[in-house]
Chain A
Amino acid sequence: MSAQDLSSAAAPAPAEEEADYNFAYLDENTKRMIRRALLKAVAIPGYQTPFASREMPMPYGWGTGGVQVTSACLTESDSLKVIDQGADDTTNAVSIRKFFERTARVATTTRTEEATIIQTRHRIPETPLTENQILVYQVPIPEPLRFLEPRETETRKMHALEEYGLMHVKLYEDIARHGHIATAYAYPVQVGRRYVMDPSPIPKFDNPKLSNCPALQLFGAGREQRIYAVPPYTEAISLDFEDHPFDPGGVDQPCALCGATGVYLDEVITDDQGTRMYVCSDTDHCEKTRADAEAAQ
C-alpha cells in the first residue's frame, strides 16, 4: 500500500452515505433546542442551563457535550480546530475533527488564528483569541459544588441563593492538608460576580485567560446535560483567600523545543533515569514559534 493509499484510507472522500446525515450530524430541531439553551446560557453567565443531551456516536466522557455545542454553532463557512490537552494530533482531537469533516464538510485547521470555532478538551490556546472566535469546552462534571454536596436539589438552591461558603471549605481543606491551594485544574471561578463555575478541567494556569476574553466561551456537558457560557469580555475571578491569593503556577523554564516562556508546559519523562524535558502543551503555538524563529534567521 502506497503512502497515497494510506492517506485516502485515513480520510475518505465524502461518500454517498454521508449525504444521509443532516449538516453537522444533528437534526435541525435538536440544534434549535441546543441554540435556545446556548442563548439562555449566554444571557446568564456561568449558570448551568439544562438541555436535552442526545446520544452521540461516541462514548460519554469523549466530548459528547462539546460536540453537540459545536454542531449547533457550525455554519458552512466556519473553520474548525479541535484540541485535546493542547494538541491537535491526539486521538480525541483527530476523531472529532474527522467527524465534522465527514458530517459537515467544513474546513478544518490546526492554526488557532485561522479557526472560527475551536473545540477544546482541558486547555485554552496560547494564542490570544479574538471576537470572531468561539471556544467550545468539553465538560465532564459541570457542578463545582458536587464533591462537597452530592444532592443536586441542594446545589441548585445554593447557586440560586448565592451560598458559596462551601467552595471555600474545599480551598481551606487544600491549604490545611498541603500548605497551599493544591487544586491545579478545574479551579473554580466566579463569573460576572455572580455564579461560581467549574471551568472544566483546564489547568489553573489557563484561568486568567478565561477572564475578559474577547471570544465567546461555551461549555457543554453531555452526560450531565448542562450547557453554560462565559460571554465575551466577562470577568471570571478565581476564588482564593486574602492570605492565600490565587497563583496560576506553571513551570519556571522555557519550552525545550521552541524556547517559548510564559506558556503551559507538559513534563515529558524521556528515560527511566529520571531525565525529563518540558515542552509546550499547545502544539500549534510551539510549531508557530519554531517557524517564526526559522524565518527570522
Chain B
Amino acid sequence: MIGAPLFKLSGLTKLYGARVGCRHASLEVRAGEVLAVVGESGSGKSTLLSCASGQMLPTSGGVLHGATSPDGRTVWRDIYQDLSEPERRKLLRSEWAYVHQDARDGLRMSVSAGGNIGERMMAAGARRYGAIRREAEAWLARVEIPTDRLDDRPTAFSGGMRQRLQIARALATGPKLVFMDEPTGGLDVSVQARLLDLVRRLVAEYDLAVIIVTHDLAVARLLAHRMVVMKQGRIVESGLTDQILDDPLHPYSQLLVSSILQT
C-alpha cells in the first residue's frame, strides 16, 4: 500500500569542485513505495544516494524527512539543516536503514550473525540478552538463513548469505525507509533471483519504502513501482516502472532499455 509521503529531495546538487556529482535532482517517496534509480556508471546514482541517506553533505538543495504530525499533516525537515547531528544519526539507525553493495561494508565481520542483527536493537536500548537473541533468530529465519548459523561470523558465510544477513541487520529495528546500493551486485544470477524474491516479500510484509540504486533494469522491473533515469548527474526521466521500460521517452532511456538482451 502506498501511504503518506516519507522522503523528498528538492533540487539536490552535489559538486566535487568543478565536477558535477548530481544536479537539481528532485524526487519524492511515499511509505510502502519502491523507487529505482537507474543509469550508467558515473551518472551520479551513488552521489545521489550518499547525499540522500545522510552520509554526504550536498552542495545545495534539500534532503527532507517527512513525519506525520498528530493532526495528519506531513511535517518536512531537512536532515542536514533542521536536524542536529545526534538527531540525524538517530534517524539513520532507527527509521532509516542502508544496505551496501558489498556486505563487508555493512556488517561487522568479526562479530557473530546474532551480534550483527542485535547491534541496532542494543543501540536502541535493548538490554535483555535472551530477547535480543530470540529476535535475531527470528530475523535469521525471515531472511532464509538456517538459525543454527546464529553464532557464526559472517566471514563463514557465502556472498548471498552475507547479503541476506545485511538485510536482516538493517531491518531489525523496523525502519520505514531503506536505501539500497546495488544489493544484487556481485552475486550470481540464481542467488540474485532469490535475494530479489526475498526483498520483494519483505517490502510487502513490512510496508517498506525503498530507494534502490541499480544499473540492472531487471531488478528495477521486478521490485520498483516507480523509477528515475539519471544521466550525467541529472534526472532525465521519471515515472512508473512499466511506463518507462515499455515506452521510454528520453533518448537515453530508450538507449538504456534497448540495450537489454531481448529474449
Residues of A bordering B, CB below 8 Å = 148, 161, 163, 165-166, 168-169, 172-173, 175-177, 241-244
A-B contact pairs, 28 of them (CB 8 A): A148-B108, A148-B110, A165-B119, A165-B120, A166-B119, A166-B122, A166-B123, A168-B122, A169-B115, A169-B118, A169-B122, A172-B115, A172-B118, A172-B122, A172-B132, A173-B111, A173-B112, A175-B129, A176-B112, A176-B114, A176-B115, A176-B150, A176-B151, A177-B112, A177-B151, A242-B128, A243-B129, A244-B129
| Interface membership of B83, Cβ < 8 A | no
Tell me the nearest residue of chain B to A240, going by C-beta. B127
Taking chain B's interface residues, is the majority helix, strand, or loop, or is none over half, making it mixed?
helix
Find out whether the CB atom of A161 lies under 8 angstroms from the CB atom of B151: no
Q: In the complex, which of the residues A161, A176, A243, A244 has the most CB atoms of chain B within 10 Å of its own CB atom?
A: A176
Residues of B bordering A, CB below 8 Å = 85-86, 89, 108, 110-112, 114-115, 118-120, 122-124, 127-130, 132-133, 150-151
Tell me the nearest residue of chain B to A162, going by C-beta. B86
> A-B pairs with the 8 shortest C-beta distances?
A165-B123, A241-B129, A168-B122, A165-B122, A161-B86, A242-B128, A176-B151, A169-B115
Known: A161-B85, A176-B133. A242 touches B127 (CB 8 A): yes
Q: Report the Cα distance A172→B124, complex, angstroms.
A: 15
Q: Report the Cα distance A166→B118, complex, angstroms.
A: 10
CB of B95 to closest CB in A, whole Å = 16
Q: In the complex, which of the residues B89, B115, B124, B130 has the most CB atoms of chain A within 10 Å of its own CB atom?
A: B115
Taking chain A's interface residues, is the majority helix, strand, or loop, or is none over half, making it mixed?
helix
Find out whether the CB atom of B89 lies under 8 angstroms from the CB atom of A243: no
CB of B178 to closest CB in A, whole Å = 19
Known: A176-B133, A177-B151, A242-B128. A169 touches B111 (CB 8 A): yes
Find out whether the CB atom of B108 lies under 8 angstroms from the CB atom of A172: no
Tell me the nearest residue of chain A to B150, going by C-beta. A176
Find out whether the CB atom of B114 lies under 8 angstroms from the CB atom of A172: yes
CB of B104 to closest CB in A, whole Å = 14
